[in-house]
A and B are shown apart, each in its own frame.
Chain A
């Protein structure tokens, strides 16, 4: 099965070509994007029919070689990355074409393609990896490319540097944890670790170190301070992939670890603590989003809040009945947030491009000049608020269900309050944007692909709610959570 290595090698190869031959960078990037979408969908259909895939690269078995593994969750994350990646790549064609002399735009397209394609390779490798050391390598691959992408915008260099420092610090904690686990068990393979893990002080230490490192990278409140400046100041397509995919990738790593090696280890208290931090993220992030003066900052703080929802899985996973419902809910939220936030950041980029600023109170006239973009903003916000029939609604509804089934009703309160706050900051933006205005300044019109790709991604977040049966089925493939609920329910 050479599908899995191809998912990493094709973007990597394309990144190399784009770097060496900048003239054909754009076409190379687009061809790679379409190819990766095709490969990801093929992998998803293989997983759907044939169960989880596993392979050792070049025939070297796990203790020494690199093991790749793909189950339903992997396939869904790969597909999300592929779809957001394709949409953003198409957007970038228009974005990096704009006249660089106005609006202070001096972002360079020669940097975008090689870095973005390397980031994509890192993301795909992270989703496919099956050992905790390669997880470190892929996190770094992803992190370094992401930092360089943020730094494409001249005024975002300070934010990029802070992002780099935080990312490296997180990696150090994570790597030390990997060392401890290797010392205890003599392996870094996740499947073997899952079976041999025992509750002992050194293992708890490793769990704490690795979790702390990944929380820092995922920007969970109160470790989120680096995210808003980096995501709000980066070029629009970069903001989109960072918010939609990169923070999800380190969350995915956390999910894999807590479902695998740390499952037997994690005390209930740790799950509750993660939930409390998640709730803090929802409330604090939404509050900041409500008060932020710039549209892109609103969107970035909204990401901080939405990350919080993902962490409500941890306290709910403790109870067996609610665990699998919460598991579906959280993956659903991650997927729909990925699409909605990518659409929203791209749309915000259009507004910034068209009016030369993105002050929320001065958004009047956007509805007249950029109807398609405003429609994309509206659809994305609908999913982020959790209005039916969007993907965000399905995810939140499942989480609500899980909260009631497990008897932990207070998480439901957090969910509802968070939804109301999301509606508040969304409507604040929409109200200003819908106001009409006699325009005095000539408005720059964004390239049509920039408007339509934003709309397509936003539409994807809505479709995810309507067409949820097939992907939910895919998620069951190889899911330990679903099986857990089935086998332990009678007790």
Chain B
């Protein structure tokens, strides 16, 4: 199995683990972590893509991963602020009405 395929496959597996975590868990912190695992999976696929053709890595997917990381950090920060507020308001870091 080529190196590219190997990494891309791991990326896909991470994506699925993250997706499962997002659906299964109720605690918001776990859900945000699950989303981060998902995005790591996607980024790994991108990084694998960069090494796909020849010895010299393709810079474009790597640049995209950098942009994606910035987005991911900002989104996580926003999510954490919201989670803290929910904890204050509802007394637990879970979305109300989620059990239904």
Contact = CB atoms under 8 A, between A and B. Distances in A.
Interface in A119-154: 133, 136-137, 140, 144, 147-148, 151, 154
B86 A157 contact: yes
A157 B85 contact: yes
Interface stretch (A77-85, A174-182, A349-357, A387-395): A174-182
Interface string B10-42: 000001001100100000100100010011001
A27 interface: no
A171 B76 CA distance: 13
Interface residues of A, number: 30
A183 B47 CA distance: 11
Interface in B71-100: 71, 74-75, 78-79, 82-83, 85-86, 89-90, 95-96
Q: Among the interface residues A140, A160, A175, A188, which one has the most CB atoms of the partner chain B within 10 A? A: A175
A110 B68 CA distance: 29
Contacts, number: 80
A288 interface: no
Contacts of B75: 140, 144, 164, 168
A175 B89 contact: no
A172 B67 contact: no
A154 B85 CA distance: 9
B45 A179 contact: yes
A160 B95 CA distance: 10
Interface residues of B, number: 32
Given A64-B60, A157-B86, A179 B35 contact: no
Contacts of B60: 63-64, 182, 188
A350 to B, nearest CB: 27
Contacts of A148: 78
Nearest to B85: A157
A161 interface: yes
Given A137-B71, A157-B89, A165 B45 contact: no
Nearest to B61: A182
A29 B39 CA distance: 34
B78 A147 contact: yes
Contacts of A64: 60
A162 interface: yes
A157 B90 CA distance: 10
A157 B82 contact: yes
A169 interface: yes
A418 B85 CA distance: 39
B90 A158 contact: yes
B59 to A, nearest CB: 9
27 contacts: A137-B67, A137-B71, A140-B71, A140-B75, A144-B78, A148-B78, A154-B89, A158-B95, A158-B96, A160-B82, A161-B28, A161-B86, A162-B95, A164-B79, A165-B35, A165-B79, A168-B39, A169-B22, A169-B38, A172-B15, A172-B18, A172-B42, A175-B42, A179-B45, A182-B49, A182-B60, A183-B52
Interface of B: 15, 18-19, 22, 28, 31, 35, 38-39, 42, 45-46, 49, 52, 60-61, 64, 67-68, 71, 74-75, 78-79, 82-83, 85-86, 89-90, 95-96
